[in-house]
Structure 1
């Protein structure tokens, strides 16, 4: 027996290719985001201006707020398709309270928040008590709300002086305090909606990551049966997740109403798809592989920067959705595909 025979067997060195895949999984989407910003900045220098960045943040703030709510339902293994309808209904509700009932800011905001919590509670009850699949339950709620919001005004938008179905005239108006929620800029630069988005992102991140309740919600999403056997009240947590989603969506509707200054029946039509896209992109940010608030915020920024860059480059409006979809699908396939191959 030689000394060579007694030498410990050496493990082969890690292949650089494997390291590259790991880097791509963890930072691929962020790298794509940086490359996209650099490309648009090179093609259109005004893209990187402070004014344009503020416009982008303002445009994505409402989508990000809705996406953060969806993230809460994804954490518990669910999904909420009603967020866009909740936001649109909150927009119409706040408009109706102030313009038709001639009430103030506080009643309008309170009514919208109560609406969001109630819708979330109903979604949760349908799913955990009546065993309706989450997609079907929230899809049904979406259609219900889209129809319900049009009934009080007979399908018309809400504005001061409008004729109501009973023949009376709406003499109320949006208060200055309410409009400030969507139009006021702190230091004449940062819109309030951006600060609200950042605040909610911090709150949901701390709640999901550093609290016992957040960890239980992740446990439910990973294995609901195991969490139930461990003593977790699974049904209550699921209902709470949908209530969080409903309240966040109503906050987005409030900010949208304050921005447009009227109860526009067409506002909020595109919020659902963009919010869902942002929440799902969050899975790929930093290789998380699970719903997370930081990833969701970055996903919303990704979508907003992409649309803003295409608009500044005068891309045809009918091609923007195609480009957005192609980039998103490519980014997700690249990230998740490499993750699967690595495993």
Structure 2
């Protein structure tokens, strides 16, 4: 016959094992959630390398990084606006307008690279100020304000050229012929590789990532940016100027979008009116994938860069395997859904 004391002793003997098992399961789930994107990235690298050995060559890997550098730079700008609780839909249009502005400055105005680059960066910062004015001063919702600016820029960039792309010798709407040309030093931004291996655009991506990581993760301004996005009223009551913080975020986003446009212009060597068509969605996707990197569940610059590389590896591998172009978006979406489901679905189970 089992007594109450025997039952209590048996329960005491069993209970220590249950928390241990739960802790082991929780640790495994946490590791899987934190590394979900990295695990999928490694699986893709191995799978593509087995299917096509040329995929894993140094030249192709550098090509992938060069291709995603612009997306990562623009995504970093989106990340900063997400940190303050906003969202910048105009980055693709700013980048495309910057391509046209840089081309117009050199081919029509005969400016060199040392005048063109600061001018175009100032243009992007000015668009960021316009976004901030609409959002902070006029209190227009961020999605509506940046959407309006996106349409404004999409039309504005076509007016000076009559809707035509800009290249050496193109004819202006007034009938005159442009006699300028791209500065050779400017083209190095998009075409030159340091030590014959590392493209300048990849170096710019690395510098942007490091600078913004330090700004957002290691400084008081960064903490205030996230605090503004988390609780704007509390941040304001704590003495911080939330309007200035939001303005800073949108100015950074605009300037980075212009930097991305400069890289595109230097790479293609012409002002293409169709440039920047997919930049918005790809950069936003990279920024949102960043939420899942290391299970941070918040905007973070390094996660955005990883997200951009993730997308670049996937698209490059599919292209090398001759996958039909009309299936690539579907495959990309399916893989992204899987990565996010691993991160957030497992997190929900552990929280329970």
For residue 338 of structure 1, report the CA deviation from its aligned partner: 1.6
Correspondence 1:48 to 2:56:
yes
Moved more, 4-13 or 146-155: 4-13
Which of 103, 119, 135 pairs up with 1:95? 103
**For 1:269, what is the secondary structure of its paired residue?**
coil
Correspondence 1:184 to 2:175:
no
Question: Take 1:22 and 1:189, find their aligned partners in 2: how far apart are those partners?
Answer: 37
Equivalent residue, structure 2, for 1:235 = 243
Moved more, 332-341 or 6-15: 6-15
Question: Take 1:54 and 1:338, find their aligned partners in 2: how far apart are those partners?
Answer: 34
**For 2:176, what is the secondary structure of its paired residue?**
coil
For residue 2 of structure 1, report the CA deviation from its aligned partner: 6.6
Equivalent residue, structure 1, for 2:163 = 155
Question: Take 2:144 and 2:347, find their aligned partners in 1: how far apart are those partners?
Answer: 30
For residue 125 of structure 1, report the CA deviation from its aligned partner: 1.2
Moved more, 333-342 or 46-55: 333-342
**For 1:264, what is the secondary structure of its paired residue?**
coil
Correspondence 1:215 to 2:223:
yes
Correspondence 1:82 to 2:87:
no
How many matched pairs? 343
Moved more, 280-289 or 8-17: 8-17
Unaligned regions of 5+ residues in structure 2, if any?
none
Question: Take 1:30 and 1:307, find their aligned partners in 2: how far apart are those partners?
Answer: 16
Equivalent residue, structure 2, for 1:67 = 75
Equivalent residue, structure 2, for 1:128 = 136
**Residues 118-159 of structure 1, C-alpha deviation per residue, up to 9 Å, x if partnerless?**
111111111111111111111111110010000000100001
Which of 166, 176, 179 pairs up with 2:174? 166
Q: TM-score if structure 1 supplies the norm length?
A: 0.96
Equivalent residue, structure 1, for 2:296 = 288
For residue 6 of structure 1, report the CA deviation from its aligned partner: 9.8
Q: TM-score if structure 2 supplies the norm length?
A: 0.94
Equivalent residue, structure 1, for 2:183 = 175
Equivalent residue, structure 2, for 1:116 = 124
Which of 308, 311, 315 pairs up with 2:319? 311
For residue 93 of structure 1, report the CA deviation from its aligned partner: 0.2
Equivalent residue, structure 2, for 1:340 = 348
Correspondence 1:253 to 2:261:
yes
Correspondence 1:31 to 2:68:
no
**For 1:318, what is the secondary structure of its paired residue?**
helix
For residue 5 of structure 1, report the CA deviation from its aligned partner: 6.6
**For 2:163, what is the secondary structure of its paired residue?**
coil
For residue 333 of structure 1, report the CA deviation from its aligned partner: 2.1
Correspondence 1:301 to 2:309:
yes
Equivalent residue, structure 2, for 1:329 = 337
For residue 8 of structure 1, report the CA deviation from its aligned partner: 11
For residue 43 of structure 1, report the CA deviation from its aligned partner: 0.7
When Rg is computed on C-alpha atoms for both structures, the one with the higher figure is 2
Which of 233, 258, 263 pairs up with 2:271? 263
Which of 28, 42, 45 pairs up with 1:20? 28
For residue 3 of structure 1, report the CA deviation from its aligned partner: 11
**For 1:162, what is the secondary structure of its paired residue?**
coil
Equivalent residue, structure 2, for 1:140 = 148
Question: Take 1:325 and 1:2, find their aligned partners in 2: how far apart are those partners?
Answer: 58
Runs of 4+ in 1 over 6 A off after TM superposition: 1-8
Superposition RMSD on alpha carbons, in Å? 1.7
**For 2:35, what is the secondary structure of its paired residue?**
helix
**For 1:157, what is the secondary structure of its paired residue?**
coil
